[in-house]
Structure 1
Amino acid sequence: MKIAFSPCPNDTFVFHAWVHGLVPGAPKLDVTYADIDITNGLAASGSGPEILKISYAALPWVLKNYALIPCGGALGRGCGPLVLAKESGDASALSGRRVAVPSERSTAYLLFRLWAAQNVPGGVDEIVVMPFHEIMPAVRDGSIDAGLVIHEARFTYPNYGLSLLTDLGSWWESDTGLPIPLGAIIARRDLDLNRIADWTRASVEYAWANPSASASYVLEHAQELEPKVAQAHIDLYVNSFTRDLGDDGYAAVTSLLTRAADEGLVPQVDAAALRPMPARN
């Protein structure tokens, strides 16, 4: 069975057991490690792997062929994207400015656009899509006025001498009371979705029960992150929502996509399409 997910520590931690044949009854996985912008594109093509990790923001374009699996993804509190600048300031500092983003089909981008619509007078001047690892250096060097960053940048941006303009996760949580939907696990609709959910959940539970088992695998793919940073990344993004989205998780996803659709950022989504799996007893 083919799967594509990012080399980020939370994904390798979650799928370590399944990748290494430690989930009883689960098929062998053929893994593609790719940035989420690439996996978003693979899913949208309709001919991607059977299972993928994508951004929740990309769901409206892929639900015809793929279904949301209610576990294994990244959704939580206190883990949202950040808007960074070289100098400290407030939202007005972005008026008429150029802002770098890692993708236009990402939750981070949707949150930024929803926040900016409420808080940046006149809006930003230009959105520049840039590889994630280039954003902080570009802001530091002054070629971009501000940058939208995710993942381990929460822990490393002070190393670039940058200032925090806003924490979009904190804004989202205060505005909605809901957790932040970041990365989703999806599977082709012609598969046994309940079994895929069971295997994914078993891999998560193995990771929690054997936290040191995945250490070398995580660091092998962690893009030179220090072990402490990799562990902080896992602690932040692998949580109870990774085991099961639950009602709050589904409410968060529905709210994000509904708001984004109302702003014309994504196609409208039928909320029922987000929960295609029958309840398990």
Structure 2
Amino acid sequence: MKLKIGFSPCPNDTFIFDALIHHKIDTQGLDFQVEYEDVERLNHKAFQGELDITKLSYHAFAYAAEDYELLDAGSALGFGVGPLLITKDPQLAERLRGVIERGELPLQGDKALKIGIPGKYTTANFLLGLAAPELGQKQEVLFSEIENALIEEHIDLGLIIHENRFTYQDKGLHQVIDLGDFWEKTTNSPIPLGGIVVKRSLPEPLKNQINSLIRQSVEYGFENPKSGLEYIRSHAQEMDEEVMYKHISLYVNKYSIELGEQGRAAIQTMFDKAVSLKIIPSIRKDLFLTVGKDAVQDQ
């Protein structure tokens, strides 16, 4: 049976899915047709129901929950993994950092600043809305182009994700605020960034099988960390091996094997807070796949 799966070309995703799509584990008769897209494109594909399984932002999941449910394996959550708001201007960075940390309203001029965001439905944009709801004028920029847009002064501020958090300082850019740190101090929870969802319409045993296989793929990656090196490198924006593996170690962790009680609580906290602030609509469906006993035993 062939299933359509979508994930990003970023090192954390290619690391997670390497063993699955290259049959380094027994996929039990399943084959996977991969579509590589940046996370905002994947968000929109989920809104259209184009893929059987897909990575998406947790923010976007709120708008796709009628058709998809969250797998227990494959998520990106953690401490110290959040998006960063950065700028080319060190004085602007210092002033805005103080404004945001003190919870003050931005100055009138700050509301006209141009902010490059990696997508309207990204978790990064959701967190920026929590930390600084009235700051700047947002415009969508491909995540890999945000640093250059700052350097060339097309935008004043940039919201960066993925491996860019390891490279921005080398390009003379400055951090305003770590939005993951902001979330952690506010909630005492790991930050939910992205998850793997599956179509609700698929049979329950198949959904559990997919969840089990993704878990096995992550575990294979941990046991054989260099097995997918060439595959990961072939898709990575940043080709330096050290940077790639820093990226992987940051985003792939115990929550990628299974969410656990803490991971599920963090996701629920994010959704509850977003609904209360009217950032997302209320959700009528259960968010999480119910992992069957047989699937657990298979793992």
What is aligned with 1:207?
Answer: 221
What is aligned with 1:68?
Answer: 70
Contact 1:193 1:277 in 2 (8 A): no
What is aligned with 2:36?
Answer: 33
Q: CA RMSD in A?
A: 1.6
What is aligned with 2:153?
Answer: 142
Q: Which amino acid in structure 1 is aligned with residue 119 of structure 2?
A: S
What's the CA shift for 1:143?
Answer: 2.1
Flag structure 1 segments of 5+ consecutive residues without an equivalent: 118-122
Q: Is the aligned partner of 1:246 residue 2:257?
A: no
What is aligned with 1:120?
Answer: none
Q: Call closer, same or farther: CA 1:235–1:203 in 2, change over 3 Å.
A: same
What is aligned with 2:20?
Answer: 18
Q: Secondary structure at the match of 2:76?
A: strand
Q: Is the aligned partner of 1:86 residue 2:88?
A: yes
Q: Secondary structure at the match of 1:29?
A: strand
Contact 2:86 2:160 in 1 (8 A): yes
Contact 2:72 2:289 in 1 (8 A): no
Distance 2:36 2:154 in 1: 30
Identity of aligned residues (%): 37
Q: Is the aligned partner of 1:221 residue 2:235?
A: yes
What's the CA shift for 1:133?
Answer: 1.9
What is aligned with 1:51?
Answer: 53
What is aligned with 1:257?
Answer: 271
Q: Call closer, same or farther: CA 1:219–1:207 in 2, change over 3 Å.
A: same
What is aligned with 1:111?
Answer: 127
Distance 1:128 1:73 in 2: 27
What's the CA shift for 1:159?
Answer: 2.0
Deviates more, 1:257-266 or 1:84-93: 84-93
> Which residues in structure 2 correspond to 1:155-170 (within 5 Å)?
155-170=166-181
What's the CA shift for 1:279?
Answer: 5.4
Contact 2:208 2:292 in 1 (8 A): no
Q: Secondary structure at the match of 2:54?
A: strand
Q: Secondary structure at the match of 1:274?
A: coil
Aligned length: 274
Contact 1:152 1:229 in 2 (8 A): yes
Q: Secondary structure at the match of 2:69?
A: strand
Instruction: Find the partner of 2:140 among 129, 143, 167.
Output: 129
| Structure 2 length-normalised TM | 0.87
Q: Secondary structure at the match of 1:114?
A: helix
Distance 2:217 2:29 in 1: 10
Distance 1:15 1:132 in 2: 21
Flag structure 2 segments of 5+ consecutive residues without an equivalent: 101-105
What's the CA shift for 1:26?
Answer: 5.0
Contact 1:75 1:249 in 2 (8 A): yes
Contact 1:54 1:186 in 2 (8 A): yes
Contact 2:86 2:157 in 1 (8 A): yes
